[in-house]
Structure 1
Amino acid sequence: MTPTSGGVGTRVTLSIISSGFSLEGDYRIRWSPAATFDESKTIVLAEGSVPKGGHTVVATFTVPEARYGAHYIQFAPVGRVDPVNFQFAVVPSLKVNPTSAQPGTVLSVKGTGFPSNDSGMLFLGGNVTGTRVNTNQAGSFETRFTVPTAPPGEHKLFVDIPIVHAESGIATIQILPVVKPVPSQEAPVVPSSEPKTGSEVRYTFVPIEDHHPPHEPIPIAPMGHSFGIWGAKKVTFSWNSVSDSSGVTYTLEISRNVNFDQLGDGAQRTGLLETSYTATIEPGTYYWRVKAVDGAGNESYWGYARCAFTVGELSSLLREFGAVIKSIFPPG
């Protein structure tokens, strides 16, 4: 079966080759969220017939609307040999229309293949938009979103539902510059206070200040990773490079919650010159984000890692268990 994972609407080719017996007769290709193929939850994706003496079946079908995760495909000969089951992983897909617009434009956003009956916030780059989405039983949603004021260029749009794979469910929109009449972009000049010599007039050029922030960095790792089962571990954070004519440094923040209000000691690093940083992290579950700061002091949007990471998983579980015990049986 090719491919074995993809979003809703993916075209899948199923090939069955029998070397020991004929496959002749009618067959169905069935789809179900469970390997038991309960009739109430099973749909037929394709039907066909193998000619007499045939030993090969090649069928093509489209992945139906379905929630995130593992689903099952079955080649079921009608009333003959035992069926053959396959597994397909549905991943999120996000589509936006139009794909390029100026700030203030209302876009249509449609998501499929997300966890069922879940909710999350829509993010543009590393910044929350204030638009919440709610998925239905099939893991789909549709909403509208107004493009905010943001630097022109490509921006990533995604939903922060935690269990979604970090590389899926991302749409790219092109934010266009606002077109309006502007004064000449040449640097203004003012007469100098020095006295004229004959007909000569001297001018002093006043530089135009840089108010354009750099693009936000995109976190690369860790992204949903787990580091060890006991005690503190070294974790290397990495993100993509951002450039600016005035130079760029990076600010990294590591938090125990998604609100980034529990940074703790050493959880913020500023003035980083490289696109990676290694720190020793105590056991726990963490979220992280990074932003760029140019030489003029302009700050980019935050780039948020879409999935939390865990350090010393067993240590964390024991600590949480201890907290529960103390809440039930307080000391004294």
Structure 2
Amino acid sequence: MKKLLIAAAAALAALGAHAADFPKEKPITIVVPFAAGGPTDKVARDLAQALEKPLGQSVIIDNAAGAGSSIGTAKVARAAPDGYTLLVNHIGMATMPALYRKLPFKIETDFEYLGIINDVPMTLIGKPSLPANNYKELAAWIDANKGKVNLGNAGLGAASHLCGLLFQSALKTEMQTVPYKGTAPAITDLIGGQIDLLCDQTTNTKAQIDGKKVKAFGVTTRKRLTTPGLSDLPTLDEAGLKGFEVTIWHGLYAPKGTPPDVLHKLNNALKAALKDPAFIKREEDLGAVVASDKRIEPAEHKAFVEAEIAKWGPVIKAAGVYAD
């Protein structure tokens, strides 16, 4: 017993020393559970750059895409809980429990919550040849073409998929959904007229709206955006779709069991990054709003995700959407 106690004390002392030195040992890796070039990847790369100064260490990105973000998320859940492997994921942290019958991790218990990074509004956009020029005309066109309207998305569990589910539910109509392997091919087909509509994050749609390559019908926030190029767009709520609101958020996570001192350092570094003027400017240029509320605290971050799980679960189950 005495030997066991000595060994345990030695292990704790080593862990404390490791936490005190963190993160001098090696670069930190942020796992992004989506392909490079997508909106979550953009956010993660911006954040990685902003984290390097407060951490005093390089931060690199590891794209581990697939299965609606569950592959990359599982990779972090299995990683050593030493603070050197982190996860940036979006609203998928709240929707995976309802979308997948079996997951190799539990959102509520297998991660340490470090804080919300940002909120990203979404925009409802249409192909250039649509006869509608505003939301009222679009609603009438959808009603006149029931069962024929094609609504694209970036794949199961993607932000565009979730927005599409809510959009159909709000209109009390069903559309022909067309899933893609990512946002880029969906937008390419929208511009080309192969699909009619897409609801996606401003980080993906702003350039297309600015270039007038698509028709924009509204934003999914309660208030109009102040972002140049998007400030003239009405909210879908004010345009006639009362109560409609969807915002995609991103958060930072560590594996469960990461030492408290390391978590404290990571949370402080995140708070510093969220105040970095360069980071704020890059996010604002994409139409995103950097978090500054109580959700930047770990406990509030976790409470927020649990509330989002409760919100999205019934919506997804009512739509009968799931993956094995």
TM-score (norm 1): 0.24
Higher relative contact order (CA 8 A, sep 6+): 2
Q: Which has the larger radius of gyration?
A: 1
- Structure having the higher strand fraction is 1
TM-score (norm 2): 0.24
- Structure having the higher helix fraction is 2
